[in-house]
């Protein structure tokens, strides 16, 4: 679908490889990729893939980031406040987490978006703020949405 209905892949000068399947399982089975940036963007709908926000998933993401790499997690959600969960992932990695809100633009057809930036070193991003103090750890064995209902 990405190649048939959209042009951003064809327009990109990057080398792009599409791997079909569950993102976490696919990353787990791949050798380290040494990404500069790894974007996790799957949480806007009412039914979120919880397994992408566990501490075990954080270990997989760290393995695929190069030293100095950055994890970006899109946490916009109508029902859930996912910032504390990503803050727990950052703590698991021994990294910092920052929250960044980008305003939508109706004229351009874009919506507001909330992102968490997770990195070994705090990044000097305009408009970013440190993640809140609340930390809610999800694991593969336990993840409760009750504490993150917004």
Residue 15's pLDDT is what? 86
> What pLDDT score was predicted for residue 128?
67
Which range has highest mean pLDDT (37-46, 60-69, 75-84, 137-146)? Answer: 60-69
Mean pLDDT confidence for 94-121: 89
**Residue 45 reports pLDDT greater than 90:** no
Residue 118 banded pLDDT, cuts 50, 70, 90: very high
Query: What's the confidence (pLDDT) of residue 146?
Result: 87
Looking at residue 95, what is its pLDDT?
92
Question: What pLDDT is attached to residue 127?
Answer: 66
CATH number for the region 33-103+110-139 comes to: 3.40.50.150
Where is 93: in which H helix or E strand? helix 83-93
- The per-residue pLDDT of the chain, averaged, comes to 88
Position 31 scores a pLDDT of 94
Task: Tell me the mean pLDDT in the region 71-97.
Answer: 91
Whether the pLDDT of residue 132 is over 70: the answer is no
Output the CA–CA distances (angstroms, integers) from residue 30 to 27, 37, 86, 130, 133, in the order listed: 5, 16, 23, 32, 34
How high is the pLDDT of residue 126?
Answer: 61
Q: Is 40 exposed, middle or buried (0-12, 13-18, 19+ CB in 10 A)?
A: buried
DSSP, res 135: -
Question: Given a cut of 70, is residue 73 above it in pLDDT?
Answer: yes
73 with 115: CB under 8 angstroms?
yes
Region 35-63: mean pLDDT is: 89
Domain edges within the chain: 33-103+110-139
- 41-55 average pLDDT score: 83
């Amino acid at each position: 679908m990405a190649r048939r209905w959209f042009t951003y892949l064809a327009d990109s000068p990057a080398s792009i490889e599409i791997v079909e399947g569950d993102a976490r399982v696919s990353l787990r089975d791949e050798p380290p990729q040494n990404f500069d940036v790894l974007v996790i963007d799957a949480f806007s709908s009412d039914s979120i893939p919880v397994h992408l926000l566990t501490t075990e998933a954080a270990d997989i993401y760290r393995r695929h980031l190069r030293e100095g790499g950055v994890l970006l997690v899109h946490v916009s959600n109508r029902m859930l406040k996912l910032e504390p969960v990503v803050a727990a992932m950052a703590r698991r990695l021994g990294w910092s987490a920052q929250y960044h809100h980008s305003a939508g633009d109706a004229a351009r057809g874009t919506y507001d978006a909330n992102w968490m930036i997770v990195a070994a070193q705090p990044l000097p991003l305009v408009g970013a703020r440190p993640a809140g103090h609340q930390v809610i750890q999800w694991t593969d064995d336990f993840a409760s949405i009750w504490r993150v209902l917004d």
